[in-house]
Amino acid sequence: MVFEHAQKCRAFPTYKKMKTYKIAKMPGDGIGPEIVREGVKVIEAVSDKDNFKIDWVEYDNGAEKYLKEKVLMPEETLKEIKQTCRAIYLGALGDPRCKPGVLEKGILLKTRFYFDQFVNLRPIKLLDGVWCPLKDKGPEDINFTVVRENTEDFYVGIGNRAEKGKTKQELEVARSLYNVKFGLDIDSDSDEIGYQIGVMSKEGARRVIKYGFELAKKEKADTAYFVDKANVLSDIYNFWRENIESVGKGYNGIKPEYMFVDAITMWFVKNPEWFKVVTTPNMFGDIITDLGAMIQGGLGLAPGGNINPDGISMFEPIHGSAPKYKGMNRANPLATIWAGAMMLDEIGQPKAAESVVKAIEGVLKEGKVKTKDLGGSNTCSDMGDAVVKKLG
């Protein structure tokens, strides 16, 4: 009887427990809820296919909450996400009813700084089936990644104004990595001045430089490109170069090459095939990644990740909230869906991530479903459905 019972038990397969990831979902403003809806639809389809589960926790931080309750991103919310979630999936932020910068600084930048998401990762990849504005360039020519430092440089958010005469001002940068205080004695005979201070630390520079070298190594690139404007802003960007030289000694076979920010914009247009990995300080990275988005087919196809390799990362499309299209179901969700694929890769599901990108490319190559920005008339929902169908 015992033997017979054992034989029957062996007839049933042993199943591994399904892996579950808790993800903070922040739809945001304007078209944000619509594009995130389609991203969630695709992620759930691929998770069913690959036998893992996403447990979504929604946070309504955005313009509506701010206008009603004057609440942006409370510390309690950030602590809750840190304690319970694996990543953040963000739609878009921005609303014309709010003063410019309020939502971006109070929610987006606060979240990046709180979780120390020191890398902004931007794949610049032209997918098959997408029109490129560069003559004679195809998918084999445009396939690189921009690694943008995400917490320092001129985006630390410290600066002020001073009127004629003598004033004393104190400014502070408070980070988990370091704290810096500036005590300024200003003596000006101008009616009024405005100023902004850029800050780059040795710790902050070296970690993003190392990330860039590591990615170049992974991509089997023999050259790692680094952006700056050391010929004009010499103190801060020569400091950047010194740290590149120091970190680069640990990467034999990978040559660091320096490019001024104005020059690299030319070469992105003329010879994008040169690049595999480009690492850049914060402000210049913000500029050149928008150019990158255009050469890969437009903002509707441009995803981004705010990465903390050892902590919580946040993924989003790089376009804005497009409030005039809110509720119209006509936005292109592909950048958001692609950002979801980046998130899957970061949390440990690279196979699912690759499947989603291939499905996006399959839909674009087929060309039957196109949103308005791609020259068609399909809806946001149509595009999400098409990607799900292509996943099989």
d(CA 131, CA 184): 51
CATH of the domain at 216: 3.40.35
State whether residue 226 is helix, strand or coil.
Answer: strand
pLDDT in tens, 203-255: 999 999 999 999 999 999 999 999 999 999 999 999 999 999 999 999 999 99
Asked, for residue 26, whether it belongs to a domain, the answer is yes
Q: How far apart are CA 71 and CA 60, in angstroms?
A: 10
Is 126 in contact with 142 (CB distance < 8 Å)?
yes
Please check whether residues 226 and 373 belong to one and the same domain: no
Residue 384's pLDDT is 98
Q: Is there a single domain that holds both residue 225 and residue 107?
A: no
Distance CA 304, CA 155 (A): 18
CATH of residue 312's domain is 3.40.718.10
Kindly state whether residues 139 and 245 are assigned to the same domain. yes
* Interatomic CA distance for residues 384 and 99, integer angstroms: 32
Q: Within a domain: residue 2?
A: no
Compute φ and ψ for 346, nearest 5 degrees. -70, -35
**Does 122 lie in the same domain as 41?**
yes
Domain with 243, as residue range(s), is 132-152+200-296
- Tell me how many domains the chain contains: 3
190: left (phi over 0), alpha (psi -120 to 50) or beta: beta
CA distance 242 to 131: 40
Would you give the DSSP letter of residue 308? -
pLDDT at 286: 94
Residues 76 and 119 in one domain: yes
- pLDDT lower than 70: segments of the chain: 1-16
Q: Identify the domain boundary among 296, 330, 347.
A: 296
Residue 94 and residue 170 share a domain:
no
Bridge partner list, 195: 160
- Report if residue 16 sits inside a domain: no
Site of tokens 């970190």:
247
Q: What is the pairing mode between strands 277-280 and 223-228? A: parallel
Among the candidates 296, 322, 343, a domain finishes at 296
For residue 10, being part of any structural domain is answered with: no
- DSSP symbols for 355-372: HHHHHHHHHHHH-S---G
Q: Can you give the pLDDT at residue 12?
A: 47
Provide the whole-model pTM: 0.90
237 in any annotated domain: yes
- In this structure, the answer to whether residues 238 and 254 fall within a common structural domain is yes
Residue 50 domain-assigned (yes or no): yes
Asked if the structure places residue 191 within a domain, the reply is yes
Same domain, 143 and 283: yes
- Shared domain check, 179 and 209: no
Same domain, 164 and 217: no
pLDDT digits (tens, 9 = 90+) for 347-371: 999 999 999 999 999 999 999 999 9
Is residue 6 included in any domain, yes or no? no
Looking at the structure, tell me whether residues 365 and 344 fall in a common domain. yes
**Angle ∠(51,55,61) on CA atoms, nearest 5:** 145
